[in-house]
Structure 1
Amino acid sequence: MRFFSHKVALFFGAASLLFAAEVSVFEAGNLRNPSPYGLTQNEKLLLEKTQEVEKLGRELAGMRNDFSSLKEQMEGVRSVLDGTNTRVGRSDGDMRALEARLVSLEETFAKTSEQILLLQTNLQEAKNAQDTNNERLRIVLGEMSSLIDSINNNYASKSTLATLAERVGELEGAKKTAPLPSGLEAKPGAELMQEALSFFSANNLDEAWARYDILVKKNYMPARSNYFLGEIAYKKQQWKTAIKHYKISIDLYDKADYIPRLLYHTAISFDKIGEPANAAPFYRALKSNYPESKEAQASPDR
């Protein structure tokens, strides 16, 4: 600023001298002439000062232009910086959001990995348990197959079951004290089945036996009829006869609703005749195939 003030002072001093100078009558001493001549010492000095002031004015104008240009450039730089700061701020926010997302994804991946590992472990445990159950079932089925063969060999073969059933019926019928109703054979199977069930429910076992026996001979629902003949023999504590009819029933149809009770009473019947080794497979089959049944829950572990 001191420099600028000094230049201005020189300018005004030079102007004062200019007005105080003497003007020549002719062109001599004309300071406006591009090539002035005949100048006095004062005029020369004034010309120099004037030229210096003009030069300084031009430099000052240039400096102002440079200042304006620099100012515009500074404004541009400031705008660029402001925009850059805004973008940097947004970038920082985006970066923080990405970092938070990455952390969330890493946590999710870790949890998912743990769940997958847990599922794999559970699956392997389930597979091992299934393999164990399959092996146990295979053993039980093998034992039951051997046991059925033993029953066929020791109690009755399939070729003689019908004859034995008829003979047992005759022998047990001879012990009855009350005469059986006549004409039962002529009744339809459905009517006989209904009567037999009514007598069985009323614990009139002889009347129920007579009708189930006829139903077996008629081959009317033979699996269910043999099951009830086995139940009647079981209630009368005729254990071997019960085992025989249970065997016939399960050979004919092994998906009936009464199978859990049939297996349970077969096992008990074997226990009653002193053959616990033959009873054990039936208890195991009951627990393996019908674990929720009351018979399975009442069965001993063998």
Structure 2
Amino acid sequence: MRQTILSPHKIGSYFLIGVMIHPFFIIPLSAEPSAFEMQSGATKKELRSLQTSSKNLETIITELQNKVISLDQSQDGVKSLFEGQSLKIKNLLDASASQENSIKSLSSVQDTHSNTLKQQSDLLTLLKDRIDKNQKAIEGLNKKVDDITELIGHINSDLMAQLELIKKNLEIPTTPTSTSNTSKISNVKKQTTPKESKTSNTDTFKKDGSKQKTIFIEAEELYKKGKLKEAKERFEWLVEMNYRPANSLYLLGEIAYKQKNYQQAVVFYKKSALENDKANYMPILLWHTAWAFRYSKDLPNYEKFLDSLIYLYPNSEQGQKAKDIRKKTKDKNEHRNK
């Protein structure tokens, strides 16, 4: 139950009203004067005056009561206003606490973002350092590639010079004993004309020039079977027809080598190398050329071709054999010098 707090002014009002309505002070406001009153000597005029005063007093009491009620209502309004303001203050305090929590949360998020940005910055710095290192490594590799390219160019130049030297060394030595033979075999085409092959049976394959491939295969088979004369006739014809001249000249050199006609073999080998110095049979060609000079007792050219074979084809079977020979020769010379 709500308790009403009375102000001093309100307590005084209630006290005045209580005094006026006390049983000992109750004054009949509208009754006729009694015999006792008549005996007291009061006149009608005085009674009317008292009645008027009583009415005024009643009016004042009513007004006071209304004011008390009004003050009571005002107090209730003030109290309600106070409670409303208190509630607003409480809501504001709650909102402030909520805002404070939000600020703390935002501060935490900001700290998290700051840490993330710092980590990203560190990562970017690390990546930049790695990119710089990779760039330097790439520049180093490019320099190495340039150096290797330059080295390859020098090697190619040396190889070309060596090949030119080989081609030059394939010239037939101009000794008195070989001059006449050189003039005889200086031109293979002239040497293998149909008139000079009177005893050959090449007419059967010369009639049809469209079968050059078949004739080449046939010539290879005859060579493998040891029928060197028949094979030679066909290879000479193929050279005239300009069909696979490098291979045909090489096999003519092989035939001459087997027939121990070493000077003629060197001529065929040289012409074959001039036609194609990248053929897969070049290690054998250089090996047999070296031995052709060896059998012809031309030791300087023999050693030159061994060295060329070692330089150009070091991993081939013939290159390994040439290394062994040169090593033995070197050991033998060192032993002699001791």
Provide TM-score, normalisation by structure 2: 0.58
Change (3 A) 1:163 1:182: closer
Worse overlay, 10-19 or 119-128: 10-19
Partner of residue 280, structure 1: 307
Partner of residue 118, structure 1: 137
Provide the rounded CA distance (Å) in 2 between the counterparts of 1:211 and 1:186.
11
Shift of 1:197: 0.3
Provide the rounded CA distance (Å) in 2 between the counterparts of 1:109 and 1:206.
77
Provide the rounded CA distance (Å) in 1 between the counterparts of 2:184 and 2:279.
21
* Contact map agreement 1:226 1:249 (CA 8 A) in 2: yes
Worse overlay, 147-156 or 229-238: 147-156
Partner of residue 159, structure 2: 140
Change (3 A) 1:112 1:59: same
Change (3 A) 1:277 1:255: closer
Shift of 1:201: 2.2
Provide the rounded CA distance (Å) in 2 between the counterparts of 1:161 and 1:112.
71
Q: Any residues of structure 2 matched to 1:42-81 within 5 Å, and which?
A: 64-81=83-100
* Contact map agreement 1:263 1:283 (CA 8 A) in 2: no
Q: Any residues of structure 2 matched to 1:238-277 within 5 Å, and which?
A: 238-266=261-289, 269=292, 273-274=298-299, 275=301, 276-277=303-304
Partner of residue 87, structure 1: 106
Shift of 1:54: 10
- 1:20 aligned to which of 9, 12, 15: 15
Amino acid of the structure 2 residue aligned with 1:245: F
* Contact map agreement 1:264 1:283 (CA 8 A) in 2: no
Q: Percent identity of the aligned residues?
A: 18
- 2:216 aligned to which of 193, 200, 214: 193
* Contact map agreement 1:271 1:279 (CA 8 A) in 2: no
Gaps of 5+ in 1: 1-7, 35-46, 171-179
Q: Any residues of structure 2 matched to 1:165-180 within 5 Å, and which?
A: 166=188
Provide TM-score, normalisation by structure 1: 0.64
Superimposed CA distance per residue, residues 89-144 of structure 1 (whole angstroms, 9 cap, x where no aligned partner): 33333334444444444444444444443333233223212211211221221233
Q: Any residues of structure 2 matched to 1:23-42 within 5 Å, and which?
A: 23=20, 25=54, 26-27=56-57, 30=60
Shift of 1:61: 6.0
Provide the rounded CA distance (Å) in 1 between the counterparts of 2:141 and 2:321.
30
* Contact map agreement 2:289 2:305 (CA 8 A) in 1: no
Provide the rounded CA distance (Å) in 2 between the counterparts of 1:200 and 1:294.
22
Provide the rounded CA distance (Å) in 1 between the counterparts of 2:237 and 2:76.
143
Q: Structure 1 residue 229 and structure 2 residue 256: aligned?
A: no
* Contact map agreement 1:263 1:286 (CA 8 A) in 2: no
Superimposed CA distance per residue, residues 3-39 of structure 1 (whole angstroms, 9 cap, x where no aligned partner): xxxxx896377755543333494359947869xxxxx
Amino acid of the structure 1 residue aligned with 2:146: K
> 3-state DSSP class of the match of 1:164?
coil
Amino acid of the structure 2 residue aligned with 1:223: A
Shift of 1:246: 1.8
* Contact map agreement 2:235 2:252 (CA 8 A) in 1: yes
Shift of 1:226: 0.2
* Contact map agreement 1:229 1:245 (CA 8 A) in 2: yes
Shift of 1:198: 0.4
